[in-house]
Structure 1
Amino acid sequence: MIEKNKKILITGVAGFIGYFLAKRLLEDGNKVIGIDNMNDYYDVNLKNDRLEELMPYRQFEFIRMDISDKQATLDAFSRYQPDIVIHLAAQAGVRYSLENPDTYIQSNISGFYHIIEACRHYPVDHLLYASSSSVYGMNQKVPFSESDFVDHPVSLYAATKKSNELMAHTYSHLYQIPATGLRFFTVYGPMGRPDMAYFGFADKYFAGEPIRIYNNGEFENDLLRDFTYIDDIIEGLIRLIDHVPDGEIPHVIYNIGNNQPEKLMNFIETLEGSFSRTLGRKVQFKKVFEQIKPGDVPATYASTEKLEQAIQFKPQTTIEEGLDKFAEWYVKYYRR
């Protein structure tokens, strides 16, 4: 259990994972300081709605700032002196990194550097930070294990996440900062990111447009994805907060994935079924098949053994359960 007098700072608090994590921590009676720059990478209204649900909590304080501003970051640490830092702020998206590389360097490289520098100058009990399954690149061995080589990223986004892991390792070595990296595998659920494929499929369906599937139109070469429901991600994070790494270099990395990869076409059929049940009528997406996009990988598949051994937890939610909850939320939120 997290000690109630601990101050927990969450970056990216208006983001998908940040919001759900802050809500859970606040419900448990913890003090949460949330940071977010509220950028317009996707619909700011959704970020505002997430934030609005957090504001009534007496133990919540929000700072609107950008972690790419080093002085502002140091000032926030100086003022609040957090005990635990959970760094989730980042410029997300693989394909977007092909068009806007500068934002990835500013947020994911400079921003992470500013956070870990702040942890150096204002020591914390534990730094947890978001990495990504993207670091595994085109690795052929599955499931992906934390001990696998991750030296061949295929997108700038993946390269920035790999660099975060290297920087965290170095700072843990030099300054004994206890740090835990979390390689998330395709997180989904209600109030999720509109730039994610499943969310986009719903948008296209209700707009009367076809969905685009990037697998060359070959079902035998169907993409495999390890879809992980948001509640499982949050449970893993909560349990890891008190699981502080030690040793000569107090830095550790965990996969957080479902360990049950799904074929993308099966996932789409399940999503159609979820909307069919929610709407009370048959839903079938119009589909257009295209070449796989640069930066995309054919499979993501997490080994979760290391996580299970550490915190006795393994994600449990099936895609049927998770997508049913997403469909119900989507229809209600957008008044479909």
Structure 2
Amino acid sequence: MGYREDWSKIENFVNSSTQSSLKKMYLMSTDHIHKLMAEAPNDAVIQDILTFVQPAYSNFVRQYRAKTLQINAYRLKTLDFTNMTALLSSEKIRRWDVEIQMIYDDRSNQYQSLLPNGRAPFQKGAYEMRIESVMTLGEALSMDPQLGTLGGDILAFGQQLELLRQEQQGNEGQKSIHSASLEALRKELATVLFGAFGRLIGHYYRELHKVTNFYELKYFRRRSSSSNNNSEEEENYDLFEFDLAPQSRVVKLEGLLAGGETIRLQLLEGDNLQYYTVANSADTPDQVYRLQNSQNARLQLPLGHRLLVLENSENSSAKVEVEVLEDDEVPGTN
């Protein structure tokens, strides 16, 4: 006999809870894996469940990190391209215009043929049209016996712009590919995790309360559809609390940061701690910050920094709250 697909008891709640957030799946599944790992040495059944879950989890995390790196690369290329277009619209076109006017009066036909609309095409409009204006001017000047050298310089600058734009848009396309692949892996992991849930139910069928020990239940709570209050944000999945032992150093948020995000920190317990961000855990920090008890601080991560390092040099334990204030997606560039 078949089953009704709308029977809520067999709904894959892992899939429905994470289908709108890859980050939520990352956080929930990582927490679940860690809880399984803690119990596995003491229980052969839990070890089997962990072995069952790990391949799908590893595939998802690998792709999640690949997407993070792709976002990082896109941000870097976008920053480089934005800096070059800013240079074009200010210093470059101003200098080119001045050099042209040293040869041709700005009321002459020669000048008007080179810059019929003045500097405007280099300062506003679609990026592709600005690049085209640079290349057109460079080619025109390269044929001028008095301004050929300037034309060559302008063409070289335009080629740099073209290359950066191609790389930026190529990274944007790769980001979309990673997203599609990651969604497929999320669904597969959701299926596996739901299967693991069933096995936990079977293992603890006389003590069902023990199943909850393997989950952070906030990830499965549903916001009331009648409430539009976003202050609780359906439990904040970007909010973390970290405990630090005396004289300890910990590295946090690996895989959740790409660089460029803003984080908020508050020392909940302890006298003070030091914190900084780096690209790799072995890197020397550019700057180390100090956080006092009950102090709130905000820090924007430099591009490429994907790790938060917390250091407690005191002889007492500490607890810090960390919130990632920006999403891990990057808006497109016009």
TM-score tier (shorter)? under 0.3
Task: Determine which structure has the larger helix proportion and give its number.
Answer: 2
Q: TM-score, normalized by length of structure 1?
A: 0.19
Of structures 1 and 2, the larger Rg is shown by: 2
Q: Which has the higher contact order (CA 8 A, sep 6+)?
A: 2
